[in-house]
Amino acid sequence: MPRKLTEVQQNDKMRGMEARRFRKSIMFLCRALIIAALAAVFYVTYIRHYNVQVFYYKGNLLVTLLYTFLLVLLMSTYGGFKIGVYRLQELIFSGVLASFIADFVMYFVFCMIARKMLTPWPQCVAFLIQCALLVPLFIFAHRIHMCVYPPVDMLVLRAGTAHETEIIEKFEGKGTRQQIAAELLLTPELDWREAAAPYAALLLGEIDTATRCDIMAYCFEHGKQCLMMPSMQDILLNNATQFMATDSLLYSCRNRSFTPDQLMLKRMMDIVLSALILLITSPLTLATALIIKLQDGGPVFYRQERLTRNGERFMLVKFRSMIVDAEKETGAVLAGKADKRITPFGHFIRAARIDELPQLFNILKGEMSLVGPRPERPELFHEICREFPQFAYRLRVKAGLTGYAQLYGRYNTSFEDKARLDLLYIERVSVLQDLQLLFFTVKIIFMKESTEGVRENKEQEEDVAARSIQP
């Protein structure tokens, strides 16, 4: 009987693997169709308007392949291939942004080949056609994904912590194909195997390690999808490298930061890019400073003490977006969506992230980097570390203007989740990762979610009022 059961399980696994390969092939074809359609528009535009008689026959195909490679790279960077993961609006926006940058780059390549400025209008028309094609193509791909990956019911096994509740609420609002059908509090009396049998996926909360290992083994044996809320140690282990001790497999945790040559290259990149951005945005910076000054006659800049690598302190500089002496009566509190302390122009520069531009001077001075954990106030940092000691891991690298926590988090993201995102960055430190995050920042600038203030409920306001947080 046990052997027969094992054979049935093996057959089920084989059928499951074949089904997964089929579904992946279908979605690959959908992504290929999107790229092919955009590349076809580019090719027709290039042949008709930008063929400067330098390339012939296969040379024209090589130009198209170069464009296709650039487009695929940008689509991967901005998440245009994450069909079924991102919302439809975000997928379309990612595709539009990737097409715009690819078209922009290739237009200047054509100008360099021709050694003169060519008319941009054919490329502009081509871009508009690509945008029009992206909408039905992504709708089609999204519907195909819903067909080949139908929603599955998921059971949540939790320990009953507040952080689990927060994650579950976000998970339910994201619209993934895993639908939370039930939640169970994991107790010694609960027979979780019997409870998990009807479900195709399990979400593991902050349960003890031994039980989690048993559940993971159960999911592996029965072909069930297993999602989990990672601890800081899980992130360290996930980014470890394999190490063979003769015939034994070991994992080597990196536990290191940038190498000296990487630090030198990162510093050069910080100086060059921050200086270039300051130069390009100088008219915008001057106009913003003038409007803030004329608005109420108060100071243009807002300065506040923050922490960077190894706990070093520095004065962070931002454009002032609130009224003068905003914290005089209330103390330091988080800004809400409809915070009356924020000036009308302050709402605009926060939404457009213009208020962050002066931090480029902090980067030029070496106090910050373009990419790294968000700098926190010393008072807040020490308070959080008393509740969550691993939050101190963020000081392993220099504070940054952008990073995982800034890109994927929001103003109201919990400090535990911020610490996890920052540790993910620290464990993967590389100059290439910095470049990828900088490219992704271009997309996030135009997205509203991460610029919103905290949720305005009484419980959170009482919790935040006791903390020293930058408004």
- List 154's β-bridge partners, or say none: 180, 201
pLDDT of residue 241: 83
pLDDT of residue 353: 87
What's phi and psi for 369, nearest 5 deg?
-125, 165
Helix (H, G, I), strand (E, B) or coil at 216: helix
pLDDT of residue 336: 58
Buried b (16+ CB within 10 A) or exposed e, 397-413: bbbbbbbbbbbebbbbb
Which CB contacts under 8 angstroms, 24+ apart, belong to 255-258? 257/396, 257/397, 257/426, 257/429, 258/397, 258/429
Determine whether 319 is exposed, middle or buried from the number of CB atoms within 10 Å of its CB (0-12, 13-18, 19+).
buried
pLDDT of residue 174: 61
Residues in the chain with pLDDT values less than 50: 1-5, 450-471
- Which has the closest alpha carbon to 103: 121, 90, 78, 77? 121
Helix (H, G, I), strand (E, B) or coil at 212: helix
Buried b (16+ CB within 10 A) or exposed e, 414-446: ebbbbbbbbbbbbbebebeebeebbebbebbee
Strands (DSSP E) along 159-231, which ranges? 178-185, 201-204, 225-228
pLDDT of residue 57: 65
pLDDT of residue 442: 85
Decide: pTM greater than 0.85.
Answer: no
Nearby residues of 343 by Cβ (< 8 Å), 6 or more positions away = 295, 296, 321, 322, 323
